Amino acid sequence: MGSGGVGKSAITLQFINRQFLSLYDPTIEDRYQKHLEYKGIQCMLEILDTAGQETFSAMRELYMANGEGFALIYSITSTLSFQEVEKIRSGIIKHKNDDNVPIVLVGNKKDLEAKREVALNKGKETAKEWGCDFLESSAKTDTNVREIFYSLIDQIWEKTGGPPKQKKTRNCIVL
């Protein structure tokens, strides 16, 4: 979840299809499924690629209610997008009535270092304060894209008592 134009769709498409589309096409809502093996366990992830949150706040509440884990994505080139993820996190915590929701804070567009507005330490400090993981990524260069989803899987498994016991069990995770 995050503001429009921060790279939510680019991250999702890089993870699902290993491709980067440079043209920006605003998303309303796209759903994807990804089957993968992680730590010897077959997983099926359901990924919801959301709209820029300022436009569809009623939908945002539905995402918060149904999601098991959340990637809160901002652009390192936009202070406003960082402020938006702070608001989104507050909404998730309030909506879930749980301070221990699986979250990874993601500073995207790491490849645009020359245009950076949000310091690396700001992201690290905020994640530490929230008690969540933090990554900087670039969908364009495929930097830390898979790690976003792996972090969420690990956190969800930790919260739910671990991965499925049987290797062939399919695990469904909504992000």
How far apart are alpha carbons 118 and 78 in whole angstroms? 7
The pTM score is 0.87
In a domain, 59, yes or no: yes
In the chain, the number of structural domains is: 1
CATH code, domain with 42? 3.40.50.300
pLDDT in tens, 70-110: 999 999 999 999 999 999 999 899 889 898 999 999 999 99
Q: Does residue 111 form part of some domain?
A: yes
Inside any domain, residue 116: yes
Structural contact between residues 6 and 75, judged by C-beta atoms closer than 8 angstroms: yes
H or E element at residue 63: helix 57-66
Query: Does residue 107 belong to any structural domain of this protein?
Result: yes
Helices and strands counted in the chain (H then E): 5, 6
- 104 found inside a domain: yes
Range of the domain at 50: 8-174
